Amino acid sequence: MSDCLIELGTEELPPKALLNLSQAFTDGMQQRLQEAGLAVTEVEPYATPRRLALLLRDVPLRQQDQVVEKRGPALAAAFDADGNPTKAAQGFARSCGVEVAELEQRETDKGTWLYYQHMQKGQALVDLLPDILAQVLAALPIPKRMRWGDRADEFVRPVHWLVMLLDEKVIKANILGTEAGNQTYGHRFHAPQALEITRAADYPQMLNKQAFVIASFDERRSLIREQVEKTAAELGGRVQIDEELLDEVTALVEWPQAISGRFDEAFLEVPPEALVTTMQDNQKYFAVFDDQSRLLPYFITVANIKSSDPKTVSSGNERVIRPRFADAKFFWEQDRKVTLSSRLQSLENVIFQQQLGTIADKVIRIRLLAGFLADSMATDVSASERAAELCKCDLMTDMVGEFPKLQGIMGKYYALHDGEDELVANAIEQHYWPRYAGDAVPHEACGQFVAIADRIDTMLGIFAIGQKPSGDKDPFGLRRAALGIIRIMIDNELPMDLKTLSDKAVVGLADKLDASSVVDELIDYIFDRLKAYYHDQNVRYDVVDAVLARKPMVLTDLNNRVMAVTEFLDDEAAQALAAANKRISNILKKQQQAVTAEVNEALLQEEAEQELYKHLCRIETIALAHFDGNEYLFGLKALASLRHDVDRFFDDVMVMVEDEQLQMNRLALLQKLANNFLRVADFSRLQTQ
């Protein structure tokens, strides 16, 4: 066992892609080595702006020898009537590099066959690694590769050096036009000279001590977090660290140094979201807040150099941010000179989708749906309709034109400035929630209705024009929209019917196209997203499948069923009843004619079926009362008391008897039993132990 170091030195890698590239590089090498019989138990990944590296600990030096067997033709096809080898036998022998006489005849359950067996020597790591590395680099998730110089090699950025070491020994290889060696390069400014790595295991410490490079992405990220939080505390504030920004900054520096700066307090008149957005997106700065989460006139930048004059670095960054803040202040002042509602007409000049019309057309449809939802929920219809009417108007403002991620946020500020109701203003912002996985959902009814209306209109329209998501392509964000609807409805316990809502959306689209034919398809798509939603919550897939089979159109009701079945499965009777339901389902599926649940008590002959029917009638009344009140767990627990009667029925009663009248009556009893469980889920779909 030895340590193996691989380092690919490049020009600055794309910061937003660095972490993903490093993970793919690590996973790819581990998988390929395992497939080659060289599994590595410990891998240390390193990633900086100028390098992707791996330190493989205790890597096997050679594959194990293994017995290789090849099966040839059957004996009957291997020799003719005179016992001479046929062309099939001769060809097989040639492919194995031996004579026919050296092949083995082996008896199997399918006859006698020719076999060739030999011991294949394992190859050395140093011989296999160059090809493995080339394959892994070629498979990295790089959307657009580039060439450099006059070579045909392609990579995400030009490659300048390659290190491949097995302990102290260089592994000979030429990857991406670069010869492997033991020389690396440190920080571009602090240590630009070549450095010789004498031993693979010394790599991270050597870069840190001699080259001003913290090679570990995780270590660098932790250090940046620590420096930024300490600097903020020294300023009398704190930072609200955006994890994506932290990852991006980590990918931009090799020797991080946090430096603070200050800006004019006059800029604090601008909504803080606008200032924070330009700090984070344009300058990669961290904003500083007080204990009440109010923005302070400071920022923190992370330099990639240890400056002898940090004040000069700070003042330089202050000069850079000033004009950006001045632009934001100008947009803020100019936008408020015109009301949001006066921008409605300009939405007629912006196409949402060619077949679905303008954003103004979409706003009309959202207004219709939001008003319908508010009315069905017995809440303020006028507020929901007004919020829907104004929800897209801030798209026409200068601020949102410059910072698109502020859509909704700026709409709220401008609505409040115009004197709109606070419910309306909040809904304009919240209708975009959740923006991403884990984001908050709208917590006010008005925002919930507009959010659902916006998403269902988009989804139905895009489905109707035949552009539903396929593969990785989802240009209209329908997967995110579906999950948004799911979370808004379930988290807020909104008893809305998907079918009714979709049918109402069809009416809104009627002047553009007929979307009625895709309603079922749309609902199925939302159900598919529910599988992902519950998977993330570690809910058993078969539980979700069993509930979805009943197609509950109200997602809160569906969720109640999923939670009830999940908890019910902890009951000792659950597995037996699930198995019984599976058995019942299989029996009923084989019937040529429909089976009703009407049982003729006079035809019940066996004691076991009489007892099951009597107890079922009594328990059914209790269970259905619970089901009608959405108390699914209590209803299922009531049915669980039938377990022993069901077991006894299957032990003592023959269902498929010759007497057709008796047979149909017993099938009716089983159907009656199954129907009770079907009020919650299709229990026959549950996996039984």
| Span 548-599, pLDDT tens digits | 999 999 999 999 999 999 999 988 888 888 888 888 888 888 776 777 878 8
**For the whole model, what pTM was predicted?**
0.83
8 A C-beta contact, residue 467 and residue 458: no
User: Is the residue at 177 inside a domain?
Assistant: yes
One-letter-per-residue 3-state SS of 255-313: CCEEEEEECCHHHHHCCHHHHHHHHHHHHCCEEEECCCCCEEEEEEEEECCCCCCHHHH
Q: Give the separation between CA 143 and CA 165, rounded to whole angstroms.
A: 30
Report the interhelical angle of 519-536 vs 555-568 (nearest 10°): 40
Q: In 3-state terms, what secondary structure has residue 169?
A: strand
Helix (H, G, I), strand (E, B) or coil at 104: strand
Do 293 and 355 reside in the same domain of the chain? no
Per the listing, tokens 């060439």 go with: 147
Q: What is the tens place of the pLDDT at every residue in 639-675?
A: 999 899 888 988 888 888 888 888 888 989 999 999 9
For 562, other C-beta atoms within 10 Å of its C-beta total 26
Q: Do 457 and 366 form a contact (C-beta atoms < 8 A)?
A: yes
575 neighbors 689 (Cβ within 8 angstroms):
yes
| Cα 270 to Cα 295: distance, rounded to the nearest angstrom | 11
Tell which of 120, 147, 164 closes a domain. Answer: 120
In a domain, 341, yes or no: no
pLDDT for position 635 = 94
Clarify whether residues 166 and 30 are in a common domain.
Answer: yes
pLDDT reading at 539 higher than 70: yes
Question: Do both 258 and 326 map to the same domain?
Answer: yes
Question: How large is the average pLDDT for residues 467-484?
Answer: 90
pLDDT digits (tens, 9 = 90+) for 44-53: 999 999 999 9
Q: 616 and 673 in contact (C-beta within 8 Å)?
A: yes
Contact 154, 91 (CB under 8 A): no
Q: What is the CATH number for 373?
A: 1.10.3210
- For residue 126, count CB atoms less than 10 angstroms from its CB and return exposed for 0-12, middle for 13-18, buried for 19 or more: middle
Out of 333-347, 500-514, 673-687, pick the least confident: 673-687
Give me the mean pLDDT over the 343-356 stretch. 96
Residues 203 and 241 in one domain: no
Same domain, 606 and 622: yes
Please state which of the ranges 119-128, 453-462, 506-515 shows the lowest mean pLDDT. Answer: 119-128
- Reported as a pLDDT band with limits 50, 70 and 90, residue 357 is very high
3-class secondary structure, 443: coil
pLDDT value of residue 20: 96
Residue 93 token pair: 């022998």
Q: What is the model's pLDDT at position 30?
A: 95
φ, ψ of residue 602 in degrees (nearest 5): -65, -25
Same domain assignment for residues 380 and 523: yes
Which strand (E) or helix (H) includes residue 113?
Answer: strand 111-120
Q: Quick one: which H or E segment has residue 112?
A: strand 111-120
Shared-domain flag, residues 372 and 498: yes
- pLDDT value for 371: 97
Q: Predicted confidence band at 689 (pLDDT cuts at 50, 70, 90)?
A: low
b/e sequence 510-520, b meaning 16+ C-beta within 10 Å: eebeebeebbe
**pLDDT of 352 higher than 70:** yes
Locate 361 and state its tokens.
Answer: 């057309």
Q: Residue 110's domain spans which residues?
A: 66-120
Say if residue 81's pLDDT is above 70.
yes
CA nearest to 187, candidates 178, 196, 195? 195
Q: Identify the burial level of 88 via C-beta atoms within 10 angstroms of its C-beta, where 0-12 means exposed, 13-18 middle and 19 or more buried.
A: middle
Stretch 414-431: mean pLDDT: 98
What per-residue string of b and e applies to 566-598 under the rule 16 or more CB within 10 Å gives b?
A: bebbeeebbebbbbbbbbbbebeeeeeeebeee
In this prediction, residue 592 carries a pLDDT of 65
Is the residue at 344 inside a domain?
Answer: no
Q: Is residue 545 one of the residues assigned to a domain?
A: no
Buried residues in 644-657 as b, exposed as e (16+ CB within 10 A)? ebbbbbbeebebee
Condensed to tens digits (0 to 9), the pLDDT of residues 292-339 reads 999 999 999 999 999 989 999 999 999 999 999 999 999 999 999 999
Q: Is the pLDDT of residue 341 over 70?
A: yes
Measured in degrees and rounded to the nearest 5, phi and psi for residue 619 equal -70, -35
The residue from 305, 335, 365 where one domain ends is 335
Confidence of residue 130 (pLDDT cuts 50, 70, 90): very high
Average pLDDT, the chain: 93
Q: What is the DSSP letter of 62?
A: B
CA angle 640, 646, 651 (to 5 degrees): 150
pLDDT tens per residue, range 201-244: 999 999 999 999 999 999 999 999 999 999 999 999 999 999 99
Q: Find out whether 635 and 679 touch, Cβ atoms under 8 Å.
A: yes
d(CA 615, CA 609): 10
Model confidence at 7: pLDDT above 70: yes
Amino acid at 639: L
pLDDT at 151: 81
pLDDT of residue 461: 97
Question: Residue 600 has what pLDDT?
Answer: 87
Final residue before a domain boundary, out of 291, 311, 335: 335
Say if residue 152 is in the same domain as residue 271: no
Domain-located, residue 345: no
Given a contact cutoff of 8 angstroms between Cβ atoms, the answer to whether 4 and 129 are in contact is yes
Residue 590 sits at φ, ψ, to 5 deg, of -80, -10
Distance CA(479)–CA(416), nearest Å, equals 32
Together in a domain, 288 and 435: no
Residue 87, domain member (yes or no): yes
- Answer yes or no: is 512 within a domain: yes
* Domain shared by 174 and 27, yes or no: yes
Residues 251 and 138 in one domain: no
Are the C-beta atoms of residues 440 and 434 closer than 8 Å to each other?
yes
Q: Span 186-191, mean pLDDT?
A: 94
pLDDT at position 657, please?
Answer: 83
Q: Which structure tokens are listed for 602?
A: 């006079």
Which amino acid, one-letter code, is at 158?
P
Q: What are the strands of the beta sheet with 111-120, ordered from one edge? A: 66-74, 111-120, 104-108
The structure tokens 């807040």 sit at 289
- For residue 155, give the 3-state DSSP assignment: strand
| Shared domain check, 527 and 391 | yes
Query: d(Cα 347, Cα 340) in Å, to the nearest integer?
Result: 11
User: What is the number of structural domains in the chain?
Assistant: 5
Query: Which has the higher per-residue pLDDT, 263 or 74?
Result: 263
> What CATH code is carried by the domain that includes residue 629?
1.10.730
A 10 A CB-CB count for 140 gives 17
Does residue 549 form part of some domain? no
